[in-house]
Amino acid sequence: MTDTSLDLASLLCSRLCHDLLSPVGALSNGLELLAEERDPEMRKRCMELLEQSARTSADKLKFFRLAFGAAGGFGDTVPVEEPKALIDALVAGNERIKLNWSLGVPVLPKPAVKVLLNLAHIGIEALVRGGTLDIGAELRDGASEIVIRASGPKIAFDPVIGRAIDGVLEAGELTSRTAPAHMIQQLAAGIGGGLQYALSDDALVMGAVLPG
């Protein structure tokens, strides 16, 4: 493994830990409160919060296991229902985001699934005030085509992530925040595909074409 690969793996681990810190921390705080609380109603509320935090932690772990890791079974393809369920779970607690799906195939190659998950995650993070996330995927002429459109009243998109998608990161710009975009750009380039994005005041559109 090269030094660059080690750096990327380390940064992806840092990103995973950062995203899990909040729900896991809530679990720890909830357990402390539960140990001290004697009021039945408050204990019930603590249990509800613990269940919510545990569910959020599990959903994020499942998401990152497929988005960053080697999950998805032993085959070369993954049923589209798997990434769909993972993204649905991530958005389930956010009533401000509406999800629309257009999946024209029952399965996708694993690289396409990783790209779809990571682009969708970037789209979710861009909708800081809520909005609509449209996700589409299909196979055309032997290639996987993926489109993610995040639209809303305010789009928060770091231009450095855009440079990662374009494959033109500058020295020192590979961080835990840009690592997922860099990873899928490298993944796409490695199989002869590519990523692109377009940003306007009210929408972020990202796409990928991946041969194979």
Evaluate the CA torsion angle 92, 96, 97, 100 in order and state its sign: positive
Answer for the pair 43, 76: CB distance below 8 angstroms, yes or no: no
pLDDT, mean of residues 138-158: 96
Answer for the pair 90, 125: CB distance below 8 angstroms, yes or no: no
Q: Supply the pTM of this predicted model.
A: 0.89
pLDDT computed for residue 17 by the predictor: 87
User: Is a pLDDT exceeding 50 seen at residue 1?
Assistant: no
3-state class of 111 per DSSP?
A: helix
Range of the domain at 171: 3-211
β-sheet bridge partners, residue 146: 137, 208
Closest CA to 127 of 160, 102, 98: 98
- We report the CATH number of the domain holding residue 30 as 3.30.565.10
User: Is a pLDDT exceeding 80 seen at residue 71?
Assistant: no
Closest CA to 133 of 117, 120, 146: 120
Give residue-wise pLDDT tens across range 169-182: 998 899 999 999 99
Following CA atoms 77, 81, 87, 88 in sequence, which dihedral angle do they give, to the nearest 10 degrees? 180
Measure the CA–CA gap between 39 and 72, rounded to whole angstroms: 44
Tell me which H or E stretch contains 99: strand 97-103
Say how many domains are in the chain: 1
